[in-house]
C-alpha cells in the first residue's frame, strides 16, 4: 500500500457522508487542488480479518486489471490505521434505473448496457478471474451510458483442478444452484448464471428469484428454471442443512421463448443459455457477445464507435479540471500525470482511455444472509427500509497517476420519484 507523507485526507474537502455499509463508510469529497469530486471509501478498523481481506482483495484486482467497462481505482492510502480507497464518482447504478423505470429498461438501452457488461465479464474470464457477485447494484452507469462492473471484494483467480474455494459468496438472489448447495468446485459459470438473473430483471423490472433463504431459493430455481442435476441432487440429499426436505420435480418447456414469454425472442435465447442448472451447459461470455441479439442489424459496428466517442468525450470533459498553478508541487504532479496518461493511453484495451472513465462502487457485498433481509431488497420493504449504499467513483480528470478509479455513492435524492411497483414478488 502506498506510504504517503503527511495526512492525505487533508488534500480533500469533505462534502458529506454518502453511504455506510458492512465494511466501511463512503464520503463525498473534493480534491482541493484540482476541484475533482471524488468518493472516498474508508474501511472500518475492525479486529476481524474479513474487513482487511475484502479491502486487500479489492485493491489487488483493481490495480491489476484495467478495462473500459471495469471500475478504476484512483488512489489507496492508509491514515489513522484505516484503509482509504479513492474512486471516480459516477451517477448511478443499474439498480437505480430499475427503481426509476419500474417495468424494465427500454430495449435499445438494455442492449447497449448488456454488451458492455459482457465485455467486462469476458475480460475477467479471459484473465481467469471470476467476479462472484454480479448484480444490478454492481453495474455502474455514467450520464452518457457507459457501464462499469464494480465491487471486486469477492473476485478471485479461478481455482486449479482439484482446488476448492473456502468462501461462500454472492448475493442470494443471483446465486447459482452450485453456490446455494456449497459445491466448492464452481467456476466461471456462476457469473453467467447471475448475469441471466440480472438480464431478466433489467428487461422486466422484477427480480427473477427473490428469496428469503437458501431453501426458498432452491425451491424457486426448481419451479422456474429446472430440476437439479444428479450431482447437485446428491449434494442436496447429503446436506444436513436440507435434511428431510424433498424438492418438487417440475416439467419445464424446452423452448426458450415459451419458458421466458415476457422477453424478446433473442433475449429469451440468451437467458436460456445462461440459466442452465448444469454449469457445464451454460454458455460463455464470448459466445454471448457473438449472439444474434448483438450481431443483428449492425449493432456492434454502430455501437463501438459510439462507445469510443463517449469515452473520449468523458475524458475531455474531465480534463478541464486543472490543478492550481501556484506551487512547485502541483507542477511536478502535473508532469507526472502527463507521463502516466500517455502510458495509459498506449496500453488500454480496445476502446482506449480506460483510466479516464467513470465508475461507482457498491459495498453491499459480504454479509450473505444479511443481504436477503438487509439494506436494499427485502421481500417486504418500504421506502424507508430500502437504504441505498453505493460507493461511486470519482469522474477522473485526466490525472491517472494520482487517481486510478473510485467507488461511489449515488445521491438518492436524484430518484426521489422512484416507483416501487413491480419490485415485489
Catalytically annotated residues: 133
Q: CA-to-CA distance for 60 and 113, rounded, in angstroms? A: 26
Give the cell for residue 118.
Answer: 459482457
- 78 within 8 A of 1, measured Cβ to Cβ: yes
Q: CA-to-CA distance for 58 and 71, rounded, in angstroms? A: 11
DSSP 312-347: HHHHHHHTT----SS-HHHHHHHHHHHHHHHHHHHH
Q: Point out the annotated binding site for ATP.
A: 41
| Residues across the chain | 425
Eight-state DSSP code of residue 296: G
Q: Point out the annotated binding site.
A: 41
Q: CA-to-CA distance for 390 and 375, rounded, in angstroms? A: 11
Residues 6+ apart with CB under 8 A from 106: none
Query: C-alpha 233: how far from its chain's center?
Result: 30
- 273 within 8 A of 288, measured Cβ to Cβ: yes
* Paired residues of 78 in beta bridges: 83
Whether the CA torsion 378, 384, 390, 395 is positive or negative: it is: positive
The contacts found for 24-30 with CB under 8 angstroms, 24 or more apart, are 24/51, 24/363, 26/361, 26/363, 26/389, 26/390, 26/391, 26/392, 26/407, 26/408, 26/409, 28/89, 28/408, 28/409
- 108 within 8 A of 35, measured Cβ to Cβ: no
Amino acid at each position: 500500500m502506498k506510504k504517503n507523507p503527511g495526512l492525505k485526507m487533508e488534500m480533500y474537502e469533505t462534502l458529506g457522508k454518502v453511504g455506510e455499509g458492512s465494511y466501511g463508510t463512503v464520503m463525498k469529497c473534493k480534491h482541493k487542488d484540482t476541484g475533482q469530486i471524488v468518493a472516498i471509501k474508508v474501511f472500518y478498523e475492525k479486529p476481524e480479518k474479513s474487513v482487511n481481506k475484502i479491502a486487500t482483495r479489492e485493491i489487488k484486482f483493481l490495480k491489476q486489471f484495467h478495462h473500459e467497462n471495469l471500475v478504476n481505482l484512483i488512489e489507496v492510502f492508509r491514515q489513522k490505521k484505516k484503509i482509504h480507497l479513492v474512486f471516480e464518482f459516477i451517477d448511478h447504478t443499474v439498480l437505480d434505473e430499475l427503481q426509476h423505470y419500474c417495468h424494465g429498461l427500454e430495449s435499445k438501452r438494455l442492449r447497449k448496457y448488456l454488451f458492455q457488461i459482457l465485455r467486462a465479464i469476458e475480460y475477467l474470464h479471459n484473465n481467469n478471474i471470476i467476479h462472484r457477485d454480479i448484480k444490478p447494484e454492481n453495474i455502474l452507469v455514467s450520464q452518457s451510458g457507459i457501464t462499469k462492473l464494480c465491487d471486486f471484494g469477492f473476485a478471485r483467480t479461478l481455482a486449479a483442478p482439484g482446488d476448492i474455494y473456502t468462501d461462500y459468496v454472492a448475493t442470494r438472489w443471483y446465486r447459482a444452484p452450485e453456490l446455494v448447495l456449497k459445491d466448492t468446485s464452481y467456476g466461471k459459470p456462476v457469473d453467467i448464471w447471475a448475469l441471466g438473473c440480472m438480464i431478466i430483471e433489467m428487461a422486466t423490472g422484477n427480480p427473477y428469484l427473490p428469496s428469503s433463504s437458501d431453501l426458498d431459493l432452491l425451491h424457486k430455481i426448481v419451479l422456474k428454471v429446472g430440476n437439479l442435476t444428479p450431482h447437485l441432487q446428491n449434494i442436496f440429499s447429503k446436506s444436513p442443512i436440507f435434511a428431510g426436505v424433498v424438492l418438487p420435480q417440475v416439467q419445464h418447456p424446452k423452448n426458450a421463448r415459451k419458458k421466458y414469454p415476457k422477453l424478446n425472442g433473442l433475449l429469451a435465447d440468451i437467458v436460456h443459455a445462461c440459466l442452465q442448472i448444469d454449469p457445464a451447459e451454460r454458455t460463455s461470455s464470448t459466445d454471448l457477445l457473438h449472439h444474434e441479439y448483438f450481431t443483428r442489424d449492425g449493432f456492434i459496428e454502430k455501437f463501438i464507435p459510439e462507445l469510443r466517442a463517449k469515452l473520449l468525450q468523458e475524458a475531455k470533459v474531465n480534463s478541464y479540471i486543472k490543478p492550481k498553478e501556484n506551487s512547485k508541487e502541483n507542477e511536478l504532479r502535473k508532469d507526472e500525470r502527463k507521463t502516466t496518461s500517455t502510458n495509459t493511453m498506449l496500453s488500454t484495451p480496445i476502446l482506449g482511455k480506460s483510466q479516464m472513465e467513470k465508475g461507482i462502487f457498491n459495498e453491499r457485498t459480504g454479509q450473505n444472509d444479511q443481504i436477503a433481509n438487509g439494506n436494499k431488497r427485502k421481500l417486504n420493504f418500504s421506502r424507508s427500509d430500502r437504504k441505498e449504499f453505493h460507493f461511486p467513483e470519482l469522474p477522473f480528470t485526466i490525472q491517472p497517476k494520482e487517481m486510478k478509479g473510485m467507488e461511489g455513492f449515488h445521491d438518492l435524492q436524484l430518484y426521489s420519484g422512484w416507483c416501487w411497483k413491480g419490485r415485489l414478488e
